[in-house]
Homo-oligomer: A and B are copies of this chain.
Amino acid sequence: MDFDNSQPIYMQIIDEYKKNIIRSELKKGDKIPSQREYAQIVRVNPNTVQRAYREMENMDMVETLRGQGTFISAGEQMREQMAKEMAAKVMQHFIHEMRSLGYEDTMIMAMLKCELEPMEEGEQVDRI
Contacts and interface: CB of A to CB of B under 8 A. Distances in A.
A22 B116 contact: no
Interface string A1-19: 0111110000000000001
A4 B12 CA distance: 13
B112 A112 contact: yes
Copies of the protein in its oligomer: 4
A87 B95 CA distance: 11
Contacts of A117: 105
A100 B5 contact: no
A94 B91 CA distance: 7
Interface in A7-44: 19, 22-23
A94 B105 CA distance: 15
Contacts of A3: 5
B109 A98 contact: no
Interface of A: 2-6, 19, 22-23, 58, 83, 86-88, 90-95, 97-98, 100-103, 105, 108-109, 111-113, 115-117
